[in-house]
């Protein structure tokens, strides 16, 4: 087991490094540079070249790309992501300021996703009514294909502008969290429902479920005692991917709902080509993503004894 975990941790480190390097390459391939963006405040294209040169030297943009990469990576390993080019604030401070907001949003959205996705999938198998079942199974593909910002605008139109139940913008308390979390959760819960429903329906056809039913268990008992646990393994796999979806979705959702947060910070940093902030974001996102997937990997054997014995055999 220990060797298994060590191996996964080593893989995780490589993933984080690769993400860091890839963003660096992409950001440095872009034709414009952050200093001219910062100096073009009046937006008429007039930039003082002498000052621009001085600032570029200050941020080290005049060094060779490889030297810059080595320097940045060296400092990043020690946890120092430098300062924002756009406003001079420390990257770690900027991230620490907004991260709790996104965590709240992502946390609630995750809860909505799991509850909504599971409820829909289970309902689709629990009902004996064929028409209802088909209707329920048609919902996830619809939810996956609708763009997030559109869902956000519709929710705003109905629950904020027409019926003032929730505020349209801001970070004030739980109420301001509901609509953004729903917007984020709808496409993701559709994804969960799709996978879980599929796996529930195939497990439902397994002989042992039939046996259990023949022994007199009700439909509901057969689902909860025999089907669900086995069917949950594929759904657990995509839980890891959900975390990525939550981060990506927060960029759009936080912009539509004018919320302070990680996604909004990234959006403005990308516009300003604020390399240190983007790098800090990518590393943090990669670490979280990798950590969640590691957790999922470790959870598999607990859910499914077949995976446990396979791992032990591998480790022996």
Neighbours of 293 (CB within 10 A): 20
Residues 6+ apart with CB under 8 A from 66: none
- Quick one: which of 170, 220, 310, 315 contacts other proteins (CB under 8 A)? 170
Q: Smallest distance from the beta carbon of 37 to other proteins, in angstroms?
A: 4
Nearest to 232 by CA among 121, 316, 156: 121
Q: Smallest distance from the beta carbon of 38 to other proteins, in angstroms?
A: 9
Which positions from 262 to 281 touch other proteins by CB under 8 A, shown as an x/- string? --xx--x----x--------
Nearest to 182 by CA among 244, 113, 128: 113
Task: Report the C-alpha gap between 181 and 171 in whole angstroms.
Answer: 12
- Three-class SS of 237-293: HHHHHHHHHHHHHHHHHHHHCCCCCHHHHHHHHHHCCCHHHHHHHHHHHHHHHHHHH
Burial class (CB in 10 A: 0-12, 13-18, 19+), 41: exposed
Answer yes or no whether residue 37 interacts with other proteins by CB under 8 A.
yes
Which positions from 88 to 127 touch other proteins by CB under 8 A, shown as an x/- string? xx--------------------------------------
Decide whether 260 or 307 has the Cβ nearer to other proteins. Answer: 260
Of 129-137, 199-207, 236-244, 253-261, which part binds other proteins (CB under 8 A)? 253-261
Answer yes or no whether residue 29 interacts with other proteins by CB under 8 A.
no
Q: Which residues bind other proteins (CB under 8 A)?
A: 31-34, 36-37, 39-51, 87-89, 149, 153, 156-157, 160-162, 164, 167-170, 255-258, 260, 264-265, 268, 273
């Amino acid at each position: 087991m220990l060797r298994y975990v060590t191996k996964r941790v080593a893989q995780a480190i490589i993933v984080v490094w690769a993400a860091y390097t890839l963003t660096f390459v992409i950001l440095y391939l872009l034709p414009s540079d952050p200093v001219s963006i910062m100096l073009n405040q009046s937006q008429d294209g007039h930039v003082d070249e002498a000052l621009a040169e001085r600032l570029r030297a200050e941020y080290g943009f005049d060094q060779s790309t490889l030297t810059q990469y080595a320097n940045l990576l060296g400092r990043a390993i020690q946890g120092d992501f430098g300062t924002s080019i756009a406003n001079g604030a420390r990257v770690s401070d900027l991230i620490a300021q907004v991260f709790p907001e996104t965590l709240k949003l992502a946390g609630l959205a995750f809860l909505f996703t799991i509850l909504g996705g599971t409820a829909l999938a289970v309902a689709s198998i629990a009902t004996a009514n064929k028409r209802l079942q088909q209707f329920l199974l048609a919902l996830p593909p619809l939810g996956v294909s609708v763009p997030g910002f559109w869902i956000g605008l519709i929710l705003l139109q109905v629950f904020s502008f027409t019926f003032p139940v929730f505020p349209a913008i801001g970070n004030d308390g739980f109420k301001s969290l509901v609509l953004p979390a729903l917007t984020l959760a709808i496409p993701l819960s559709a994804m969960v429902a799709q996978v879980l429903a599929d796996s529930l329906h195939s497990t439902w056809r397994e002989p042992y479920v039939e046996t259990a039913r023949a022994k007199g268990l009700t439909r509901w008992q057969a689902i909860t005692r025999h089907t669900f646990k086995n069917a949950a393994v594929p759904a657990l796999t995509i839980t890891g991917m959900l975390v990525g979806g939550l981060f990506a979705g927060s960029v759009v959702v936080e912009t539509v709902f004018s919320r302070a947060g990680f996604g909004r910070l990234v959006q403005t940093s990308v516009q300003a080509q604020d390399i240190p902030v983007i790098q800090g974001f990518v590393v943090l996102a990669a670490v979280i993503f990798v950590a969640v997937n590691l957790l999922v990997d470790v959870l598999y054997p607990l859910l499914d004894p077949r995976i446990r014995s396979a791992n032990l055999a591998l480790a022996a």
